[in-house]
Amino acid sequence: MGLIESGKSPKSLTALLNISRKYSLWVYQWGLACCAIEMGAAFASPRFDVMRLGVIPFPASPRQADLVVISGTVTDKMAPAIRRLYEQMPDPKYVISMGSCANCGGPYWDSYSVTKGVDQIIPVDVYVPGCPPRPEALLEGIVLLQERIRTEDPAARWRGEPIHVT
């Protein structure tokens, strides 16, 4: 790993690693509202079968996850827990924000208790629009994320500044 962190990994090795990472995404499910039903359909039903994309929705804890799907309404009370969840995940880590609520507050944009987008708390890689998005939309978001992983420079990802809780 020293090679990768220092950015001295050969390009062919980087590409191989990226393809490997792309097809072994352990995804943690963070279902907060009705979007979780669609996420459950995408992740747990044979009709959509997310595992054919190389996404494994069975990590026992955030510490084993590469990806977390924030699906549903993020409230101000839930926000610290999401922050802690993100910090518990090992680098490199990815976030998909699923649905209007997690993207920007959605129909609760004027609420006194809803966070106006999960990207105010943690960095988001892919936004999946919809209220709620269909399972296909989430699968497309995962494919987009996989494309991003395939073409990214792991060194940049692993060198990322640590995030401090304020």
Partner 1 sequence: MSPDTETPEAEAEAEAAETPTDAAREAVRDRFGAELGDAVVDSHITVGHTLWVRVTAEAWRTAGQVARDHLGCRWFDFLSAIDWLPSPYGRYEDDGLSPPKDIDATIVTGVAGGETRFQVFARVVNVVDQTDIIIKADVPDDSLAVASWMPLYDGADWHERETWEMFGIGFEGHPGLRHIYLPGDFEGNPLRKDFPLIARMVKPWPGIIDVEPMPADDEPADEPAADDATATGGGEAP
> Which residue from 20, 91, 109, 147 is in contact with partner 1, where contact means CB under 8 A?
109
| Residue 122, both tokens | 């943690």
Using alpha carbons only, give the angle 64, 137, 155 rounded to the nearest 5 degrees: 45
Tell me if 113 contacts partner 1 by CB under 8 A. yes
Q: Are 28 and 65 in contact (CB under 8 A)?
A: yes
Tell me if 166 contacts partner 1 by CB under 8 A. no
Cα separation, 33 vs 73, in Å, equals 6
Q: Are 79 and 107 in contact (CB under 8 A)?
A: no
CA atoms within 13 A on the CB side of 4: 16
Nearer to partner 1 (CB atom), residue 54 or residue 129: 129
Restricting to residues 19-78, name those near partner 1 by CB under 8 A: 76-77
Cα separation, 147 vs 92, in Å, equals 15
> Which residue from 8, 52, 110, 164 is in contact with partner 1, where contact means CB under 8 A?
110
| Residue 135, both tokens | 């399972």
Residues touching partner 1, count (CB under 8 A): 8
> Which residue from 1, 10, 52, 112 is in contact with partner 1, where contact means CB under 8 A?
112
Restricting to residues 115-154, name those near partner 1 by CB under 8 A: 116
Tell me how far, at minimum, the Cβ of 114 lies from partner 1, in Å. Answer: 9
Nearer to partner 1 (CB atom), residue 63 or residue 77: 77
**Binding-site ranges for partner 1 (CB under 8 A):** 76-77, 109-113, 116
